[in-house]
Amino acid sequence: MAGYLEKPFSRVKGKSGSMLWFRVLTVRCRLVRPTRTPYIAAMTCASTPLAFAKMHGAGNDFVIIDSRLRAAGVMTAARARAIGDRHRGVGFDQLAEMRGAETEDLALDFWNADGTQAGACGNATRCVAARVMDERGLDRLSIRTARGVLQAERQGALIWVNMGLPVLDWATIPLARDCDVDHLPLPGDPAAVGMGNPHCIHFVADAETAPVAARGAEVEHDPLFPQATNVEFVSRLAPDHLRLRVWERGTGITLACGSGACATAVAAHRRGLTGRRVRIEADGGLLEVDWRADGVWLTGPVAHVFEGTLSAEFLAGAT
């Protein structure tokens, strides 16, 4: 809007016969070429409602925010905590924010329910890949994450994501000191594997009875893990079939964990318990992992639950 022209006072006769005085403001507008950046950047303010999608992969549930056309991401630690509150917000295991990328199809940032950022999230990556593939009519995507550039492919009804090569160097996982990553100096003889985030994998006789809540919370913040860790409890059902239960860093018990499934498959193979391709039964469903020469590939079910909008009032209180 370029401005307005103000006309002198005018008068009209009201219903009762009295004269009503008013001032007429004539708005003078000019058409301008629409630009994305100013409008989209304005959408990041707390006074603007924010659209989201809710999805899950084998019960591992996510809020998806699409910021691909925004000048910058909209997520903060406080906002992630507020949205992640299952009583006062939406609730999620992780939040994934889609952003634009210069050379890849998109970029992804991941947030935990406690407001910390996650370097990787396999099931959220699969959910977002399925969404974008359907949107754009593609069967392959490249996705930039803190973990690196990940490749996603549609194979029949399944979305596979290459989660990259496992990290087996103690300093890069990271651990606080040099030790055997296949046999950590912790109770239960767990193993450590990095998949863009740290994992501590316990092999137990029966994952169903493992003390996931008590032991998971304890190991998450063990001094051996300077960045804290995800904690897995695994039992072997067959040479190609594992039972997995998970305590996720920054979230707690979840029904599944994609990067945790990948780390578990790597650790199980290195212990001689399985081959390189394995089915992993999590609390929320069945995942499949294939450790190939180019990385650890992950697949499993994906579900779209609903679309929603976070109100301006809610966002204003979450800054």
Average pLDDT over residues 213-234: 98
Given this model, what pLDDT does residue 47 score? Answer: 65
Average pLDDT over residues 176-203: 98
Given this model, what pLDDT does residue 53 score? Answer: 98
Q: How confident is the model at residue 4 (pLDDT cuts 50, 70, 90)?
A: very low
Average pLDDT along the chain? 88
| pLDDT value at 12 more than 50 | no
Q: How confident is the model at residue 198 (pLDDT cuts 50, 70, 90)?
A: very high
The tokens for 82 are 């507020």
Q: What is the DSSP string of 99-166?
A: E--SSSSEEEEEEETTS-EES--HHHHHHHHHHHHHHHT-SEEEEEETTEEEEEEEETTEEEEE--PP
Distance between CA 233 and CA 243 in Å, rounded? 8
Catalytic center residues: 121, 257
Q: How confident is the model at residue 39 (pLDDT cuts 50, 70, 90)?
A: very low
Burial (Cβ within 10 Å: 0-12, 13-18, ≥19) of residue 207: buried
For the chain, percent of residues with pLDDT exceeding 70: 85
| pLDDT value at 281 more than 80 | yes
261-277 confidence digits (pLDDT tens): 999 999 999 999 999 99
Q: Which of 36-40, 94-98, 110-114, 166-170 has the lowest mean pLDDT?
A: 36-40
Sign of CA dihedral 178, 251, 257, 311: negative
Q: Under the phi-then-psi rule, with left for phi > 0, alpha for psi from -120 to 50, and beta for the rest, what region is 148?
A: left
Sign of CA dihedral 211, 171, 250, 58: negative
- Spell out the domains of the chain, with CATH numbers in brackets: 37-163+303-316 (3.10.310.10), 191-293 (3.10.310.10)
DSSP character for 65? E
Given this model, what pLDDT does residue 264 score? Answer: 98
Which residues face 304 on adjacent strands?
Answer: 55
The tokens for 216 are 């998971």
How far, in Å, are 34, 110, 205 from residue 44 at the CA level? Answer: 18, 18, 49
Distance between CA 252 and CA 213 in Å, rounded? 8
Of 272, 263, 262, the C-alpha closest to 236 is 272
Distance between CA 262 and CA 194 in Å, rounded? 9
Average pLDDT over residues 282-296: 98
Average pLDDT over residues 183-205: 98
Of 120, 197, 207, the C-alpha closest to 161 is 120
Q: Which of 56-60, 116-120, 123-127, 279-283 has the lowest mean pLDDT?
A: 116-120
Given this model, what pLDDT does residue 319 score? Answer: 75
For the chain, percent of residues with pLDDT exceeding 90: 83
